[in-house]
């Protein structure tokens, strides 16, 4: 059933990355050929899904599927890029009508909330460039990190995922660059943490715990808001926890870091 997509897949081939890197193209060389498949298409997809689900090492997958480790790497890169292109075009943002239809009763006076957002960081390998180190260093994590923003609906479904930005970017700046602002209108509300001072960026209501500022103490109403909003924001924190529980993040949770990729980081808006 997946054979029709075969011609739409752009396959990763080591020929493009290893051939003639020292100088001009060799006109006498044979043109690159379309890489052949060692596995049926359905098995390639299954291998990629096993990798994404279980986080197995490429060498282990090569032994299980009886193929070379480099072939496993090419299959994973090919299918991850294809699935990102295919599934990335599927909209996960929910309409206000769907949000209201699934609104939990506990939201009460916050029933116009369209999305609950929060940021999360992933430690990454420290780049050699001092400029990039400064851009990616997170004061919160005391390490170089990549930072992204997750948005969930009040009933807990993930409805927005931003790109990854350098760890030094503020929550407000990440919110501005994420692309979520055009999705909001004046009839919606967004629930955020204290770091998101976004009242001047959005056309809608912002639910955020109040600041003490110069007052000696919060009023009774502000204390209630301070208690209510964190209890409702637990949905986005749970979603982020579920994402980080994926096997691919085991190295992060065990104290290691993502490998720094200069080509990837050079595309980050803040680098």
Per-residue pLDDT, averaged over 237-262, amounts to 64
Q: How sure is the predictor about 151, in pLDDT bands with cuts at 50, 70 and 90?
A: very high
For the chain, report the end-to-end CA distance as a whole number of angstroms: 42
The reported pLDDT for the residue numbered 1 is 57
pLDDT digits (tens, 9 = 90+) for 82-129: 888 888 888 899 999 999 999 999 998 899 999 999 999 988 888 888
Predicted TM-score (pTM) of this structure: 0.74
The reported pLDDT for the residue numbered 3 is 66
| Phi and psi angles of residue 168, each rounded to the nearest 5 degrees, phi first | -80, -10
The DSSP code for 114 is E
* Residues 50, 51, 56: CA angle, nearest 5 degrees: 110
What residue segments make up the domains of the chain, in order of their start? 3-17+34-88, 96-265
In the predicted model, is pLDDT for residue 231 greater than 90? no
The reported pLDDT for the residue numbered 217 is 81
In the predicted model, is pLDDT for residue 188 greater than 50? yes
In the predicted model, is pLDDT for residue 270 greater than 60? no
């Amino acid at each position: 059933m997946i054979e029709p997509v075969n011609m739409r897949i752009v396959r990763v081939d080591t020929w493009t990355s290893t051939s003639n890197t020292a100088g001009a193209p060799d006109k006498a060389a044979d043109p690159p050929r379309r890489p052949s498949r060692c596995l049926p298409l359905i098995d390639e997809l299954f291998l990629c899904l096993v990798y994404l689900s279980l986080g197995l090492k490429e060498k282990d997958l090569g032994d299980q599927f009886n193929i070379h480790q480099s072939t496993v790497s090419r299959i994973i890169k090919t299918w991850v890029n294809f699935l990102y292109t295919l599934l990335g075009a599927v909209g996960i943002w929910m309409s206000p009508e769907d949000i209201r239809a699934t609104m939990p009763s506990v939201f009460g006076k916050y029933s116009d909330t369209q999305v609950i957002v929060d940021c999360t960081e992933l430690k990454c390998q420290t780049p050699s460039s001092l400029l990039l180190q400064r851009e990616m260093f997170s004061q919160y994590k005391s390490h170089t990190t990549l930072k992204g923003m997750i948005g969930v609906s009040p009933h807990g479904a993930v409805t927005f995922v931003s790109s990854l930005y350098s760890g030094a970017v503020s929550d407000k700046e990440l919110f501005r660059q994420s692309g979520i602002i055009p999705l909001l209108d004046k009839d919606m509300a967004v629930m955020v943490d204290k770091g998101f001072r976004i009242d001047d960026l959005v056309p809608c209501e912002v639910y955020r715990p109040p600041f003490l500022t110069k007052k000696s103490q919060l009023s009774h109403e502000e204390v209630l808001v301070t208690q209510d909003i964190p209890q409702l924001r637990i949905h986005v924190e749970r979603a982020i926890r579920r994402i980080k529980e994926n096997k691919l993040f085991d190295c992060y949770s065990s104290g290691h870091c993502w490998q720094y990729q200069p080509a990837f980081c050079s595309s980050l808006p803040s680098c």
